[in-house]
Each structure stands twice: as structure tokens, then as C-alpha cells.
Structure 1
Amino acid sequence: MKILITYTSMTGRNEKIAKYLADYLEKNDADVALEQIIDTDAYELSEYDAVIVDTYTYNDGEVPEEAQDFYEDLADVDLERTKFTVLGSSSKGHIHFGRAVDYFTMRLNSSNGEQVADSVKIDQDPDEDDLKRVRTLGDYVMKSLK
């Protein structure tokens, strides 16, 4: 199982979530590549068995600036049924809670990806219930690859 987790993080919160998920997947024998979205080439995603995008939502429900190029490139990529899911931390205090998670989910679906787990939105710092949802997301990804 070759899985890419690509993330963007302003406060460090999503980086911690991405690392937590990477550790969990590796403990379950997955081969995980962990990198920042700014370093991820959308045209190489189909080289992975599964892709997990971890993003925060910026300002008024926008995709973060450092993720814009990656997001835009996804419109031109055929993911060839590459399995994917999306998660991210945001704030329920904002009217557009987790909207970037929704944008990435829609874009990956429209790029011919195969969504294997429901998107997960976390309100700020993850609590134990959130971490359980993150592990469940990881379980769905691994199950889809067997």
C-alpha cells in the first residue's frame, strides 16, 4: 500500500493531524509518503495507491494560498480511479467551516478519483473523538487497498 498524505498547515494543527495519520497507517504496514501540498505535484498522484489531502480553510472559506497551484492543477489531472479522501481542521466559529475540505473533495472526484472514505472536518484541535474519526478514515483507506 503506497499512500500519499499531503497537507497544508498554518498553525501546525493540520501538520500534527497528518503526522498522526501517517504514524497510524505505518503501524498498519502502509508505505506512507508525507509532504506539504506546496511540494506535491498533482500530475504524479496516480503513482500512489491512495492519496489523502489534509487542509485548513482560509479566510472566507477559501483554499489556502499555498495550496492553490496544486488545487488548480487537479482540474487537469486524470487520477485514473486513484483512491482518495480529504480531511482538515477548521473553526466552527466561521460560517464557512471546513469549506476547503469540500472543495478538495469535489475537485478530486471530478478528476476521476475514487473517494473511499467520507471527508472528516475537525473543529480546531482534535479531541479523542476526532482522532478516532481520523483512524477510521485511515482504516477505510487501507481496507480499500486490500
Structure 2
Amino acid sequence: MSKIFLGYTSLSGRNEIVAKHLASYLEEKGVEVVLDQLVDADAFDLPEYDAVIIETYTYNDGEIPEEAQDFFEDLQDVDLAKTKFAVLGVSSKSHIHFGRAVDYFTMEMNSSNGDQVADSVKINEYPDDDDYARVHQLADYVLKSLN
């Protein structure tokens, strides 16, 4: 059975809702999911997983959330060794830096030798059916990469 790490940050609760939805979707497809907040996670454990999905909000002026800062900084010293990954996040288009933390995580994981298997997904405010369809598509690409 494949094992996927799904790490998230959530301030308003929207990213947590999407993360739990995504974890359930993946589990229904027969994979083991380790769901954890990034503040409690260790980036050095990521190469142990078959795939990694990171979900984050963007803080203030396009910044990585404070509770994910240590995890993000540790990624600079982790060799993901071609670990398959995808990144998504809920943000707000009313901010000039909509979803920038998603971009930062995507770039850092690529720089850490990861293998991006799905386009990053940015969700505006509250996820709707179209957003969940894009989340499912991201998950399906991750699952397909494991076969």
C-alpha cells in the first residue's frame, strides 16, 4: 500500500477542511494517508513517503505562514530524492499575493530534488464544487504517478 504525507497549515479553517476532504478521497482510493499540520511535521521525514502533498495558506504580504516556517526552511536541507509531490492552498484573490506561499513551496520542493507530479492548485476563499474537482484531479495525478 502506498503511503502519502499530507501536511497543511490553516488559519481560518478552510485549508483544514480541504486537507481532510483530500485525505478521505485518497483513503477511498486505497492509500494510507498521514495527515499532519506542518508545525508538527519534520521535513526530513518526507523522503520516507511514496508521495507528499503540501497545503498552505498565504500570510499577509505573500509570506509563508509562521507555523510552517521551520518546515519550509528545513526543506532547503532535505534531498527529496525524486519524491513525488504536489502543492495546493486556499487563499484570497483580494490579496495582491494570491497563493504565493503555494508557489514558494512548489519552488522549494523542486529545488530539493522533488518530482512534481501535478500542477499546483490555488483556491479562492471558500472551495466550491469546481475547486473540489481540481483537488480530486491533483490527487488522481499523484495516485497515477505511484503506479
Give the TM-score of the pair, scaled to structure 2.
0.99
Equivalent runs, 1:1-146 vs 2, <5 Å: 1-146=2-147
C-alpha distance in 1 between matches for 2:11 and 2:92: 13
TM-superposed CA distance for 1:16, in Å, is 0.4
* Secondary structure, counterpart of 2:102 in structure 1: helix
For residue 40 of structure 2, what is the amino acid of its counterpart?
A: D
**RMSD (Å) for aligned C-alpha atoms:** 0.3
Q: How many residues align?
A: 146
C-alpha distance in 2 between matches for 1:104 and 1:132: 22
List runs of 5+ in structure 2 lacking aligned partners: none
C-alpha distance in 2 between matches for 1:20 and 1:134: 9
TM-superposed CA distance for 1:102, in Å, is 0.1
* Secondary structure, counterpart of 2:34 in structure 1: strand
List runs of 5+ in structure 1 lacking aligned partners: none
Report sequence identity in percent. 68
Q: Any runs of at least 4 consecutive aligned residues in structure 1 with deviations exceeding 6 A, and if so which?
A: none
TM-superposed CA distance for 1:125, in Å, is 0.8
C-alpha distance in 2 between matches for 1:122 and 1:30: 24
